[in-house]
Amino acid sequence: MSVQRICDPMLPELSKVFDAPMSAVSQVVSMFAIGYGVMQLFYGPLGDRWGKYRVVILATLGCGLGCIFSALSSGLDQLVFARIATAVFSAAIIPMSLAWVGDAVDYHKRQETLARVGLGTMLGITSGQFFGGLLTDTLGWRWAFVMMAGVFWTVSFLLWRHWRKLDASHHHNHVSAGFFKQLFLAGKDAWVRTILSIAVLEGACVFGLLAITATHLHNKFGISLTMAGSTAALFGLGGMLYMATAKYTIRKFGETGLSRIGASGLSISFLIIAFTPWWPLALPACFGGGFGFAMFHNTMQAHATQMVPTARGTGVTLFAGFLFLGQSLGVFMLANLLTHFSSSFVIGCASVVALGLGLFLAYAIEKRHAHHAHSQ
């Protein structure tokens, strides 16, 4: 989503405007991330009871208000507060959208649909960084938030029009058990525990790797931070290519093939990044790593929408929360490991763990399918 990344390119300008160090200004990004991660868990039961579509409509309205408050901020503290408020609402959009897809789309078509949702998310993140920098340079940073408010309110209106045309069955969800009972029931399911465990480890490995890739390339090869960051950004483009071609790759390889091939491609790509003596090889490696990660992650995401079919919103937000927990832990752990080991060694080890996760997911899916076939 563009609202998550819109502040990234405007941090130097905000530092000048508010006469504050970058460490203080960066709170507009870090506090947004914390609010976003925490609030995801609350929207699951809310969406299950009120209706996921309705929650997303209200969330987009709230995001627009948060962006207007950001644009009107007269001080850094006000801007940070406005960004937290925006995060509170934006945390609903992706998990509830994924859960709604789970409710509305048959499972055999779901991964293809989720890939299209993922493509939109990646485009949103990329456009947020682009327009955040462009509008800050041309019209001023406040207009970037005004533009975002307009986008959110337009989307909210379009969603409301579509929601009115849906059958009443899509307006509400009837969940028999409460939130904590749903958590207890989910925790008793071995498959749910498997998916959530993989989500934590995947978040730690992959997002930890992404966090240190640019620094590794800069320190090892002496290239500029701009070049190192641009190289690492190819990971996102690789993911976008997979999502654009998912219709064909899903049919060709199937779930287990996507897990094995995706994790293998991801692991090989980062091993190249870790140990290559020639930095241009990192360009195709980052791109290929993004493609492989999307193959693996999209497969797991499809299963996350099926973890708790009776309360899909709760299940998806659990998955998102565990993934976010893994991201937070991974960045912290890998950064600390760099104080004791070389970046090549750390990246190499994390790559091997990522390979193991993909192979284990493929094995678990095969075992689950075999069990279902035997029980029938």
19 exposure class (CB count in 10 Å sphere: 0-12, 13-18, 19+) = exposed
CATH class of the 180-371 domain in this structure = mainly alpha
29 exposure class (CB count in 10 Å sphere: 0-12, 13-18, 19+) = middle
First vs last C-alpha separation in the chain = 42
| Least confident window among 37-46, 71-80, 124-133, 242-251 | 124-133
pLDDT for residue 353: 95
The residues of the chain that CATH labels 1.20.1250.20 are: 2-167, 180-371
pLDDT for residue 53: 80
Report the percent of the chain where pLDDT is more than 70: 82
Residue 43 has pLDDT above 80, yes or no: no
* Spatial distance between the Cα atoms of 126 and 128, rounded to a whole number of angstroms: 5
- What are 284-301's pLDDT values in tens digits? 999 999 999 989 988 888
145-163 exposure pattern, b = at least 16 Cβ within 10 A, e = fewer = bbbbbebbbebbeebeeee
If you average pLDDT over residues 216-242, what whole number do you get?
83
Nearest CA to 310 out of 45, 117, 109 is that of 45
Q: Which is more confidently placed, 39 or 145?
A: 145
pLDDT for residue 119: 67
> Is this structure's pTM higher than 0.85?
no
If you average pLDDT over residues 213-232, what whole number do you get?
82
Q: What CA–CA distances, in Å, run from 132 to 12, 34, 42, 137?
A: 12, 21, 29, 9
Residue type for position 94: I
pLDDT for residue 171: 47
Q: What is the dihedral of CA 241, 309, 355, 332, to 10 degrees?
A: 90
2-167 is classed CATH 1.20.1250.20: yes
Are the C-beta atoms of 116 and 243 separated by less than 8 Å?
Answer: yes
pLDDT for residue 341: 92
Three-state SS for 258? helix
DSSP character at residue 281: G
> How many helices and strands in the chain, by DSSP H and E?
16, 0
Residue type for position 140: G
Residue type for position 264: S
* Spatial distance between the Cα atoms of 316 and 310, rounded to a whole number of angstroms: 12
Task: Give the chain's mean pLDDT.
Answer: 82
Model confidence at 138, pLDDT cuts 50, 70, 90, reads: confident
Longest Cα–Cα distance in the chain: 67
* Spatial distance between the Cα atoms of 155 and 59, rounded to a whole number of angstroms: 11
DSSP character at residue 204: I
- What are 332-372's pLDDT values in tens digits? 788 788 888 999 999 999 999 999 999 999 999 998 878 76
Which residues fall within 8 angstroms of residue 260, CB to CB, at 6 or more apart? 358, 359, 362
If you average pLDDT over residues 124-137, what whole number do you get?
70
Are the C-beta atoms of 319 and 261 separated by less than 8 Å?
Answer: no
* Spatial distance between the Cα atoms of 268 and 40, rounded to a whole number of angstroms: 33
